[in-house]
Structure 1
Amino acid sequence: MNAPTPNISRRPIRQLDAAAANRIAAGEVVERPASAVKELVENAIDAGARRVDVAYADGGKRLIRVEDDGHGIPADELPLALQRHATSKIDGSDLVNILTFGFRGEALPSLGAVGRLTVTSRARGASEAVCLGVRGGNAEPPRPAALARGTVVELEGLFTATPARLKFLRSDRAEAQAIGETLRRLAMAAPGVAFTLTDRSDPDSPREILRLDAESGDLFDALGNRLRALLGPDFLANALRIDAEREGVALTGYAALPTYSRGSAVTQHLFVNGRPVRDKLLLGALRAAYADLLSRDRHPAAALFVDLDPEQVDVNVHPAKAEVRFRDPGLVRGLVVGGLRQALAGAGHRASSTVGGAMLGTFRPETFRPDTAPDARPAPFPAPRGVWPTRPVTGFAEPLGTDGWSARVEPASPEPDPEAEELPLGVARAHVHETYIVAQTRDGMVIVDAHAAHERLTYEKLKAARAANGVAGQMLLIPEIVELDAGSRARLIEAQAELDRLGLAFEPFGGSALCVRETPAILGEVDCRRLLPDLADALDADEGRGLEARIDAVLSRMACHGSVRSGRALRAEEMNALLRAMEATPLSGQCNHGRPTYVELKLHDIERLFGRR
Structure 2
Amino acid sequence: MPLIRLLPDLLISQIAAGEVVERPASALKELLENSLDAGASDIRVDLEEGGIKTIRVADDGAGIARDDLPMALARHATSKIESLADLERVASLGFRGEALASIASVARVAIVSIARGERHAWRIEAQDGAVSAVEPAALNRGTVVEARDLFFNTPARRKFLKTPATEYAHCLDAFTRLALARPQVAMTLSHNGRVMARYPAQDWQARVLAVLGDDFARQARLIDEAAGDVRLYGWAGLPAYAKASRDAQFLFVNGRFVRDKVLSHAAREAYRDILHGSRHPAYCLFLKIDPVRVDVNVHPAKTEVRFRDAQAVHRFVFHALERALAGNQSGSEANAGETIPLPPSPMNGGGATPSPFMGRVGVGSFTPPPHQHNLGLAVAEPAAYYQMVAEALQAAPARPAVVEPGAEAPPLGYALAQLAGIYILAENDKGLVVVDMHAAHERILYERLKAALGAKQVAMQPLLVPVVFAATAREIAAAEAHQAELLELGLELSAVSPTHLALRALPAMLKDADGETLAREILKEVAEFGAAHAIEARRNELLATLACHGAVRAKRKLSLPEMNALLRDMEQTLRADQCNHGRPTWFQLTAHELDKMFMRGK
Which of the five TM-score ranges fits, normalised by the shorter chain?
0.7 to 0.9
Give 5+ residue unaligned stretches, structure 1: 1-9, 201-205, 216-221, 353-410, 473-493, 506-534
1:290 match = 271
2:566 match = 578
Deviations 1:433-472 (A, max 9, x none): 1111111111211111011000000101111111113799
Moved more, 10-19 or 84-93: 10-19
The one of 85, 93, 98 equivalent to 2:76 is 85
Shift of 1:348: 5.6
1:607 and 1:557 map into 2 onto residues whose CA distance is: 41
2:211 and 2:14 map into 1 onto residues whose CA distance is: 35
2:600 match = 612
2:403 and 2:565 map into 1 onto residues whose CA distance is: 17
1:109 and 1:471 map into 2 onto residues whose CA distance is: 58
Shift of 1:341: 1.2
2:57 match = 66
Deviations 1:541-587 (A, max 9, x none): 99946432222111101111111111011111111111111111110
Shift of 1:267: 1.2
2:185 match = 193
Shift of 1:177: 0.5
1:471 and 1:318 map into 2 onto residues whose CA distance is: 41
Counterparts in 2 of 1:270 and 1:172: CA distance versus 1, 3 Å: same
1:127 match = 119
Deviations 1:124-164 (A, max 9, x none): 12112111111212111122211111111100000112111
1:536 and 1:278 map into 2 onto residues whose CA distance is: 33
- Correspondence 1:591 to 2:572: no
1:351 and 1:259 map into 2 onto residues whose CA distance is: 19
- Correspondence 1:113 to 2:100: no
- Correspondence 1:278 to 2:259: yes
2:143 match = 151
Counterparts in 2 of 1:253 and 1:423: CA distance versus 1, 3 Å: same
1:426 match = 413
2:89 and 2:399 map into 1 onto residues whose CA distance is: 68
1:349 and 1:450 map into 2 onto residues whose CA distance is: 14
The one of 42, 65, 80 equivalent to 1:51 is 42
1:418 and 1:234 map into 2 onto residues whose CA distance is: 36
The one of 149, 157, 166 equivalent to 2:158 is 166
Counterparts in 2 of 1:348 and 1:440: CA distance versus 1, 3 Å: closer
1:543 and 1:566 map into 2 onto residues whose CA distance is: 38
2:199 match = 212
Report the secondary structure of 2:167's partner residue. helix
- Correspondence 1:15 to 2:3: no
Shift of 1:347: 4.1
Moved more, 587-596 or 290-299: 290-299
1:197 and 1:324 map into 2 onto residues whose CA distance is: 28
Listed as ranges, the matches of 1:260-271 within 5 Å are: 260-271=241-252
1:397 match = none
Number of residue-to-residue matches in the alignment: 481
1:175 match = 167
2:391 match = none
Listed as ranges, the matches of 1:370-389 within 5 Å are: none
Deviations 1:204-224 (A, max 9, x none): xx2221111110xxxxxx222
- Correspondence 1:551 to 2:539: yes
2:378 match = none
Larger Rg belongs to = 1
Shift of 1:258: 2.7
2:423 and 2:111 map into 1 onto residues whose CA distance is: 65
Q: Is the CA contact 1:412–1:429 (under 8 Å) kept in the aligned structure 2?
A: no
Give 5+ residue unaligned stretches, structure 2: 334-397, 460-502, 523-533
Shift of 1:80: 1.5
Report the secondary structure of 1:600's partner residue. strand
Q: Is the CA contact 1:224–1:236 (under 8 Å) kept in the aligned structure 2?
A: no
1:461 match = 448
2:444 and 2:217 map into 1 onto residues whose CA distance is: 27
Q: Is the CA contact 1:285–1:337 (under 8 Å) kept in the aligned structure 2?
A: yes
The one of 305, 310, 319 equivalent to 1:338 is 319
The CA RMSD measured in Å over matched residues stands at 2.7
**What amino acid does structure 1 have at the position aligned with 2:185?**
V
Shift of 1:413: 8.6
Q: Is the CA contact 1:350–1:589 (under 8 Å) kept in the aligned structure 2?
A: no
1:524 match = none
- Correspondence 1:257 to 2:244: no
2:567 and 2:504 map into 1 onto residues whose CA distance is: 35
Report the secondary structure of 2:56's partner residue. strand
Counterparts in 2 of 1:151 and 1:251: CA distance versus 1, 3 Å: same
The one of 278, 291, 303 equivalent to 1:310 is 291
Shift of 1:311: 1.2
Listed as ranges, the matches of 1:403-552 within 5 Å are: 422-469=409-456, 498-499=507-508, 544=521, 546-552=534-540
Report the secondary structure of 1:454's partner residue. helix
Q: Is the CA contact 2:399–2:564 (under 8 Å) kept in the aligned structure 1?
A: no
Shift of 1:233: 1.3
The one of 224, 227, 238 equivalent to 2:219 is 238
Q: Is the CA contact 2:55–2:148 (under 8 Å) kept in the aligned structure 1?
A: yes
Shift of 1:590: 0.5
**What amino acid does structure 2 have at the position aligned with 1:88?**
S
**What amino acid does structure 2 have at the position aligned with 1:280?**
K
Q: Is the CA contact 2:399–2:414 (under 8 Å) kept in the aligned structure 1?
A: no
**What amino acid does structure 1 have at the position aligned with 2:561?**
E
2:256 and 2:72 map into 1 onto residues whose CA distance is: 23
1:34 match = 25
Question: What is the TM-score normalised by the length of structure 1?
Answer: 0.74
**What amino acid does structure 1 have at the position aligned with 2:417?**
A
Q: Percent identity?
A: 48
2:583 and 2:407 map into 1 onto residues whose CA distance is: 26
Shift of 1:93: 4.1
**What amino acid does structure 1 have at the position aligned with 2:411?**
P
2:556 and 2:261 map into 1 onto residues whose CA distance is: 45
- Correspondence 1:601 to 2:583: no
1:541 and 1:418 map into 2 onto residues whose CA distance is: 59
Counterparts in 2 of 1:348 and 1:612: CA distance versus 1, 3 Å: closer
Deviations 1:396-443 (A, max 9, x none): xxxxxxxxxxxxxxx999866667753211111111111111111112
Counterparts in 2 of 1:136 and 1:580: CA distance versus 1, 3 Å: same
**What amino acid does structure 1 have at the position aligned with 2:132?**
E
**What amino acid does structure 2 have at the position aligned with 1:301?**
A
Question: What is the TM-score normalised by the length of structure 2?
Answer: 0.75
**What amino acid does structure 1 have at the position aligned with 2:324?**
A
1:265 and 1:577 map into 2 onto residues whose CA distance is: 39
Q: Is the CA contact 2:328–2:576 (under 8 Å) kept in the aligned structure 1?
A: no
Report the secondary structure of 1:76's partner residue. helix
Moved more, 242-251 or 572-581: 242-251
1:495 and 1:223 map into 2 onto residues whose CA distance is: 52
1:211 and 1:351 map into 2 onto residues whose CA distance is: 37
Counterparts in 2 of 1:421 and 1:247: CA distance versus 1, 3 Å: closer
